[in-house]
Amino acid sequence: MKGKQTVRDMVLSLGVVVLAAWVIYLFIPHDETEPELKRVDYRVELLTARRAASYPVAAPEGLPDTWKATSVRFRGDESDHWHLGFHDPDGQYVAIEQSAEKPSRFIQDATQDAKRTEATQRIGDETWTRYEGERYDALVVRREGSTTVIAGTASFDRLTKMAEALKTE
């Protein structure tokens, strides 16, 4: 009879532990929201990139505060690669990528393997080509000595808004 009491006691103990865990889960607050991304100040990196790069480095001017800069990098040793990432007002990602690297390789990396479409659009004085992909969509313009890619999870309207805001001085 001792064996039966031991199994019964184990099952009762397990029940008490599960009940206690459930009560703790219910009453202990837990936050399931994503942490808010910090806004970065990219002015110093932009000045450095503009001095060092072999091409005119672009950054947006005049975007509302609802566009939040979240990442910035300049890699002079990697074909003068300039990166500036933003979250748009809807929380979607938009990145400015520029480089003097061979365009075919750079575009593939910057667009996360998006495919070139036949669609183009005029923004300012330049004709941008649309790329569509599983992860990112993009707008791409090739210039003498550099390529500029505006890519991200945002809509083409938002990518266009970023391209319209780009200034190189």
95: tokens are 């990145």
Residue spans of the domains in the chain: they are: 1-30, 43-167
Residue 154, pLDDT score: 97
Query: pLDDT tens digits for the chain (169 residues)?
Result: 555 678 888 888 888 888 888 778 777 876 666 667 789 999 999 999 999 999 999 999 999 999 999 999 999 998 899 999 999 999 999 999 999 999 999 999 999 999 999 999 999 999 999 999 999 999 999 999 999 999 999 999 999 999 999 999 7
**C-alpha–C-alpha distance, residues 2 and 7, integer Å:** 9
Predicted model pTM: 0.79
Q: What is the 3-state composition of the chain as percent helix, strand, coil, each rounded to the nearest 5? A: 30, 35, 35
CATH number of 43-167: 3.30.200.100
